[in-house]
């Protein structure tokens, strides 16, 4: 396993055409959970081959044409855990509409109805048998130099998403809920746009 770190964009020779099952696992690290205030600092990727690719984005590094091209590539599915946030923050800072999307948190909520624990740590423990450390979750991702612990943490969030997706797909099929998952995934860019537009805490489908 190797964690590769790049500055401001993926390298010119980065080839995602051979990604496992046509999917790339994606996550992001920010200075906080408010896209209007807390900037995007790192985007991490895995092609499902056991390696992670980390793009550290400086304040002047949001051009990132190759990273944007991957996010918008309709031929490759982007696997997230809680895609709602990542898709919104990438729209806010990279100006890119991410598609197509698979969200393991949504899939988990559709099939793991026997629990209310749908965080990545709990999902991976059950689905993949991996114990994930969240020690660096609240660290300073805007630091000039990322620590080895930060890089390892960022990588761990994407290295197992392909396996989690395969596990969840089996259960979505078994329970006849794949169509619900696919409809929810397709709505995520709109959900992100609503969040960025100020309707984050408003249920627009509610009667009141």
Distance CA 82, CA 3 (A): 22
Q: How far is CA 24 from CA 99, 100, 187, in A?
A: 11, 11, 19
pLDDT of residue 133: 77
**The pLDDT of residue 138:** 73
Burial of 187 (0-12, 13-18, 19+ CB in 10 A): middle
CATH architecture of 3-199: 2-Layer Sandwich (3.30)
Alpha carbons 42 and 56: distance in angstroms, whole number: 5
Dump the DSSP string for 5-59.
EEESS--TT---TT-GGGEEEEEEEESSS-TTTS-EEEEEEE-SSS-EEEEE--T
Query: What was the pLDDT predicted at 136?
Result: 63
pLDDT tens by residue, the chain, 208 residues? 789 999 999 999 999 999 999 999 999 999 999 988 999 999 999 999 999 999 999 999 999 999 999 999 999 999 999 999 999 999 999 999 999 999 999 999 999 999 999 999 999 999 999 998 766 667 899 999 999 999 999 999 999 999 999 999 999 999 999 999 999 999 999 999 999 999 999 999 999 8
C-beta separation of 28 from 89 below 8 A: yes
- Annotated domain spans of the chain: 3-199
């Amino acid at each position: 396993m190797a964690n590769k770190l790049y500055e401001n964009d993926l390298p010119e020779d980065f080839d995602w055409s051979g990604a496992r099952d046509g999917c790339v696992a994606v996550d992001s690290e920010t200075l906080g959970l408010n896209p209007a205030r807390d900037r995007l600092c790192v985007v991490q990727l895995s092609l499902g081959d056991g390696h992670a690719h980390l793009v550290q984005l400086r304040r002047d590094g949001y051009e990132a044409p190759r990273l944007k091209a991957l996010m918008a590539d309709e031929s490759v599915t982007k696997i997230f855990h809680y895609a709602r946030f990542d898709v919104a923050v990438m729209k806010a800072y990279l100006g890119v509409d991410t598609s197509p999307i698979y969200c393991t948190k949504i899939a988990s909520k559709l099939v793991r109805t026997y629990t209310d624990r749908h965080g990545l740590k709990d999902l991976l423990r059950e689905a993949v048998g991996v114990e994930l450390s969240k020690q660096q979750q609240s660290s300073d991702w805007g630091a000039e130099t990322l620590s080895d612990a930060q890089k390892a943490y960022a990588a761990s969030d994407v290295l197992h998403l392909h396996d989690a997706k395969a596990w969840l797909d089996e259960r979505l099929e078994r329970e006849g809920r794949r169509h619900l998952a696919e409809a929810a995934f397709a709505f995520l860019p709109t959900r992100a746009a609503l969040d960025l537009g100020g309707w984050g805490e408003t249920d627009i489908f509610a009667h009141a």
